[in-house]
Amino acid sequence: FSTAVTRMKWEKLKPPEPDDPMCCCECDVSQKCFRLFSVTLYSWLKSRHLKCGFQSPVLQAITENLEISMIPALVLLPLLLRIAALHFLLGVTVLTILPILVLWYYYATHQKKRRTLFFLTLALYSLAYMYYLFITEILPRGDVSHIQLCTVTTGMILTIVSLINTKRGPGFVTPDLYDTHKHDKHERIEVNGDVKTTKKSNIGQWVQCPVCKIMRPPRAGHCRTCGACVLRLDHHCIWINSCVGQANHRSFLMTLGLFLVTSVYGMSLVLHSICPGHYVLTAAFYCPGVYAQFSTALCFTCVWYSGIITAGLFYLMVVQLLNISFNVTEREAQLALRRGTGHWRLCMAHLHYGSLHCKLAKMNL
């Protein structure tokens, strides 16, 4: 009877099925706000479409498919940054509206559960454009040495290489994985001439995915965007257009770390060049005469643009490190926090939920 009660408690504490993959940009408060904004804008566009009385291909594409061509977006980015460099107020306005539009498009596509290359292309294009301005605007000023230039270039190349390594795959669950573990449930080890049989894996902890209909190991989850189950699914990252799982989690963290170091170092070089005699933190908020020339104003605006991206990725890095310290994935943490299940349910989601802490938690329930 006690075993049945314990099993009922464990079934109650399991995450609900089917799984809902979380993304690195997702949190409950901002999700509700931008979802409300997205629904409102969608309703307004559709009402305008019905009132017009004619079929507009552009309006229909926005309201029905919510697809944005990458070519106009790539053209608009340098154009908006140059407009923002004309005046301080224009810079504040553009740098405030731009992240809102990007987040709105994210929630619009995330609600449709579809993959898109828009965010990955925008990230790579932003990186290339910032490096282009660094070479054409900052390097001719003579304030950057060859060693500093090589450091920035090396950091950018290592970031791209690490990103390519991350894109190789998160580690998908294959149908034959269950059969392999089922046959290799026990392994034989020879110690001092004696053959001992040890337990290799607990196949009873595997569950069937309600979408893929395949058996998957503990902590694996189904990503509706990728349409497959991922080993130790952390989240679906729109910026790499792929899931982050067991196979690419380390390279994903390495990509974040390399980008953060390179970005902070590059911004400090730019601020030292356009605001000589000022500290980096002081120059980011107060740089007299920076709008006297268009080139310095453009570089200053791009520093703030890079700073916004760096701040967002730094927050993502902190969240990832906290999850690693608690031995949970982002998917497990979001599912537990969204349903208010507390610390012990997070513990139940661990791969090692048979450890002492989880046993104590099960006894106290």
DSSP 163-231: HHHHTT---BPPTHHHHHHHHTSEEEEEETTEEEEEE---GGG-EE-TTT-SEE-TT-EEETTTTEEET
Three-state secondary-structure class, residue 223: strand
Give the span between the Cα atoms of 246 and 235, in whole angstroms: 11
Same domain, 292 and 351: no
Let me know whether 300 and 280 are in one domain: yes
Domain membership of residue 284 (yes or no) is yes
Structure tokens at 314: 């730094």
> CA-to-CA distance for 35 and 103, rounded, in angstroms?
10
How far is residue 236's CA from residue 229's CA, in Å, rounded to a whole number? 12
Q: What's the pLDDT at 225?
A: 84
CA-wise closest residue to 23 among 105, 94, 101, 95:
105
What average pLDDT score do residues 237-241 get? 88
pTM of the model: 0.73
Same domain, residue pair 319 and 274? yes
322 & 351 share domain: no
What does pLDDT average to over the chain? 76
In a 3-state reduction of DSSP, which class is residue 230?
Answer: strand
Which residues are known to be catalytic?
237
Pairing of strands 194-199, 186-191: antiparallel
From CA 284, how far away is CA 268, in angstroms rounded?
Answer: 9
pLDDT band at 64, cuts 50/70/90?
very low
> Could you count the other beta carbons within 10 Å of the beta carbon of residue 343?
10
Task: Give the number of domains in the chain.
Answer: 2
Domain membership of residue 355 as a residue range: 328-364
Asked whether residue 251 falls in the same domain as residue 360, the answer is no
State whether 265 and 298 are in the same domain. yes
Asked whether residue 322 is domain-assigned, the answer is: yes
Asked whether the predicted pLDDT for residue 250 surpasses 90, the reply is yes
pLDDT tens for each residue of 292-351: 999 999 999 999 999 999 999 999 999 999 999 989 998 888 888 777 655 544 444 444
In a domain, 188, yes or no: no
pLDDT at 253 over 80: yes
- Residue 363: what pLDDT? 43
Amino acid at 196: K
Q: In this structure, are 286 and 342 located in the same domain?
A: no
Q: Do the Cβ atoms of 306 and 349 come closer than 8 Å?
A: no
Indicate whether 267 belongs to any domain.
yes
Residues 6+ apart with CB under 8 A from 271: 278, 280, 283, 284, 287, 303
Inter-residue contact 313 to 126 (CB < 8 Å): no
Does some domain include residue 253? yes
**231 falls within a domain:** no
In a domain, 151, yes or no: yes
159 and 102: one domain? yes
Q: Has residue 158 been placed in a domain?
A: yes
Same-domain check for residues 255 and 350: no
pLDDT band at 25 (very low <50, low <70, confident <90, very high): low
Residues 286 and 338 in one domain: no
Segment 253-274 shows an average pLDDT of: 95
Say if residue 113 is in the same domain as residue 133.
yes
Clarify whether residues 142 and 152 are in a common domain.
yes
